[in-house]
């Protein structure tokens, strides 16, 4: 297990002074990045070997959204490495050690030059020693996109959407998808299934479907092939 402590910042809160889902996701991403850097498997190492970890799926379950100034601990637990896949849990806890949120994620290791999967090496197996899985209600990785939705105004990928791998950061997709939710919709679970990478100047076509208690937003190309499907479940 790897952990770091923090405090909810003003820049991470919404109009009610609560942590946003996007900020929570960023905390989890930062935690895995810090972990990788501290065990010698960070950005520099990955560039040196010409490989990259690409997120394939997210599941985040939120018990509550912490308030401005609240002290929190963020933890990550890599629990399985299999062929070219890596499985990793995350959690945010309060000062009492109670869970604020839990998450599960699936990552794929790819060769930067070819885009093809690469088998996890011994250094990664040593650095990411397996922890015990978190106790949570694990949802399926794949997301079914219902029919009957609406195609909305397309979005052009800009520089601020990109990360150090020069593709759209996984959190940016979720942030874009959240723009199609009603203002009073409280997210209790978010799932994301990533299909392919989007780059600068690519065009995302949002397809939005709502049911009684959830929303599914598929960001797809002009041919209807998804970059990502995001499901939001309310309370």
| CB crowding 104-127: b at 16 or more within 10 Å, else e | bbbbbbbeeeeeeebebeeebeeb
pLDDT digits (tens, 9 = 90+) for 178-235: 999 998 899 999 999 999 989 999 999 999 999 878 999 999 999 999 999 999 999 7
E strand spans, 63-98: 71-82, 85-93
Picking from 3-17, 128-142, 165-179, which range would have the lowest pLDDT averaged per residue? 165-179
pLDDT at res. 169? 87
Alpha-carbon gap, residue 231 to 79, rounded angstroms: 24
Q: How many residues does the chain have?
A: 235
Share of the chain above pLDDT 70, in %: 100
Structural domains of the chain ordered from first start: 2-127 (3.10.129.10), 150-234 (3.10.129.10)
CA angle 113, 119, 125 (to 5 degrees): 125
In this structure, the number of other CB atoms found within 10 A of the CB of residue 83 comes to: 11
Q: How does strand 187-194 pair with strand 226-234?
A: antiparallel
Question: With a threshold of 0.85, does the pTM exceed it?
Answer: yes
**Residues forming a β-bridge with 80:** 87
Q: How does strand 71-82 pair with strand 85-93?
A: antiparallel
């Amino acid at each position: 297990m790897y952990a770091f402590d923090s405090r909810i910042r003003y820049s991470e809160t919404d109009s009610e002074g609560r942590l946003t889902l996007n900020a929570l996701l960023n905390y989890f991403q930062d935690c895995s990045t810090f972990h990788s850097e501290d065990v010698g498997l960070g950005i520099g190492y990955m560039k040196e070997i010409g490989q990259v970890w690409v997120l394939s799926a997210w599941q985040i379950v939120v018990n509550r959204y912490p308030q401005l100034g609240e002290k929190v601990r963020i933890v990550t637990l890599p629990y399985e490495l299999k062929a070219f896949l890596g499985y990793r849990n995350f959690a945010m806890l309060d000062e009492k050690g109670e869970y604020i949120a839990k998450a599960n994620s699936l990552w794929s290791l790819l060769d930067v030059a070819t885009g093809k999967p690469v088998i996890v090496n011994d250094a990664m197996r040593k650095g990411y020693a397996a922890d015990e899985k978190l106790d949570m209600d694990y949802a399926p990785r794949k997301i079914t996109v219902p029919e009957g939705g609406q195609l909305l105004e397309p979005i052009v990928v800009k520089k601020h959407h990109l990360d150090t791998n020069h593709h759209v950061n996984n959190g940016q997709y979720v942030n874009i998808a959240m723009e199609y939710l009603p203002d009073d919709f409280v997210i209790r679970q978010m799932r994301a299934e990533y299909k392919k990478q989007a780059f600068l100047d690519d065009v995302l076509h949002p397809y939005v479907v709502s049911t009684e208690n959830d929303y599914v937003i598929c960001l797809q190309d002009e041919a209807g092939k998804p970059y990502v499907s995001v499901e939001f479940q309310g309370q």
